[in-house]
Structure formats: C-alpha cells, structure tokens
Amino acid sequence: MNSNTGKVRPGRIAFALGWFATALTAIASVAGLLTDSYRDAPAMVDQARGTDLATLLVAVPLLALGLWQARHGSTRASIAVAAGLAYLIYTYAIFAFQVVVGPLTPLHIAILGLSTWGLAFWLVELATGVDEVPLRLPRRSSAGLLAFLVIAFGGLWISQIGQAIASGSLPPSITDLGVPTSAVYALDLAFVLPVFLLAVSWLLQGARFAQALAFGCLIFSVLMALSIFGLFGMQAAQGDLAEPGAPIGFAVIAVAAAALALLGIRSSSPPLAAVGEAARS
C-alpha cells in the first residue's frame, strides 16, 4: 500500500479474484449462448441469453482491459474494475436466485461469490490508497443523469410493487418470466439506486470521492443498459420485439453514460502510474 496522492495498489487477492471471476464469466456466457442449459420460461431464457451476450462482448473485455491497466498504472481503470465487478454481482445474483437450477448454476454461484469478495477487497484498496482521482466528470450533467435513473427506475419499480399489492396480480414483466417476483426490485431499490443517489449528493456537494463514485456508477449504467439491450436484440432476432421504444431508451442511457465517463477521462490530468506494483511484489 502507498498513500501517495492518486496512487492505489490493489493487492494480490483482489487481482486474483478479479481475474478468476472474469475467466469464469467468459466461460459461463459462452456456454449460455451455445448450449441448451437454461430450463426457464422462453422470456426468461431470452433475458438470460441477452445478458450472456452483452456480458461476453462488453463486460468481460472491460474487466480484462481494466485489470491489465490497473496492474500497469491506471487508477481510473481500478474504478472501472470495481464497477465491472459490481455488474457481475448484480447479474449473477439474478442468475443464482431467479434462474431455474441447471448445468450452469454452479458457475453462476461461483461468479457471484468471486465477484462479491473481489469487489470487497478491491474497494478496501481503493478507499485506503487513493487521495485524489484523476477524473473531471461534468458534475451537473453526471448528477442529472444519475438522478434521472433513480427517479425513473425507482418510480417504476415502486409503482409495479404497489399495483401488485393493491390488485393481488403480478405485473406482466414478472408473469412472462414465470417467476414469483423480480430480483431486480430488491437489487435496484436496496442497493443500486441508493448508491446512485449518494453519488448525486456527493457530486453536488463536491465531496472528496464524488468523482470516483460517479464514474463507477456511469460505467455500471453502461453495462446494465447494454445488458438489457442484449435482451431486445434476442427478441428482435426471433421477431418478437413488439415495441422499439424501450431498446432506444436503453441505448440512449448507454450512450449518455459512456459519453459522460469519457468526458471525465479526457478532461482529467494524465494517468498516474502506480497501480499493481504490490500485485507483482
């Protein structure tokens, strides 16, 4: 560990867990796409395979590149890795708790555990090793996008839960999947949206770690939007996509979040070479 400004040294355990989770994710995604491993309702199978597609094409390369760059000197890559691990936790919590038990279940549970512990070790290193983060996100625009996501999805999920309680009938988004509830409700309302709200508050206050947290939230938003976009791609390939408005909306979210994250990188000072020496020592 080194306390110099802007420097962070994720240790061997954090790197090992990150690489192991990434490798297993690549294997699970390929297997999900190429084999008949899912035993769920057709809509749930489409959702699982759409997630596998986006995870394989976007999340796995992001994590691999981020881990490599973090090892060779990028603090910003370390934050991106944390966001990627958070995405794996979210995704494989759904696979582990909502998808019917099948041949890939052991892999899904392993990825959930590895990414959870990996993120824990990674965040400890980030929190104790970074004094300043080389990022300059557009503060108000980033806060505005994250606040919009909190309001839009928080309102949508609370509305659906309220309607189900009042009517005694599950919303179509749940019944179509053949499940008793949606893990997304709990994950978003209990974990993701509160973190987004914290990032908004910190950004507006100019708090110390606001840029780092907001950057991670933007990367996570890109991954989640593309994951959902993968579902629509699967539906379109089968001729089942009835409404193009939703995929367009998620594409806009992905582009907006990615653009803000890139602006934060491009507007910042040059990368600081400090990450990964501990992993090699």
Determine, yes or no, domain membership for 46. yes
pLDDT of residue 10: 62
* pLDDT beyond 90 at 125: no
The residue written with tokens 């974990």 in the block is 191
Average pLDDT over residues 232-247: 73
**Residue-range definition of the domain harbouring residue 130:** 12-280
Is residue 75 domain-resident? yes
Q: pLDDT digits over 69-98, tens only?
A: 988 868 889 999 999 999 999 999 999 999
Structure tokens at 187: 């994950």
Residue 166 resides in a domain: yes
Q: Please, what is the average pLDDT of the chain?
A: 88
CA distance 64 to 59: 9
Distances 266 to 134, 137, 139, 168 between C-alpha atoms, Å: 10, 9, 14, 51
Q: How far apart are CA 206 and CA 19, in angstroms?
A: 33
Token pair belonging to 55 = 């995870």
Q: Is residue 48 part of a domain?
A: yes
- Give me the phi and psi of 234, to 5 degrees please: -65, -45
Query: Residues 235-262: what's their mean pLDDT?
Result: 84
Does residue 30 lie within any of the structural domains?
yes
- Please measure the distance between the N-terminal and C-terminal CA atoms of the chain and give it in whole angstroms: 11
217 within some domain = yes
Residue 7: inside a domain: no
**Structural contact between residues 274 and 9, judged by C-beta atoms closer than 8 angstroms:** yes
Helix (H, G, I), strand (E, B) or coil at 2: coil
Q: How far apart are CA 112 and CA 266, in angstroms?
A: 33
| Predicted TM-score of the model (pTM) | 0.89
Contact 273, 5 (CB under 8 A): no
Domain count, the chain: 1
Q: Is residue 159 part of a domain?
A: yes
User: Rounded to a whole number, what is the largest CA-CA distance in the chain?
Assistant: 60
Tens-digit pLDDT profile for residues 153-212: 999 999 999 999 999 999 988 998 889 999 999 999 999 999 999 999 999 998 878 999
d(CA 80, CA 225): 16
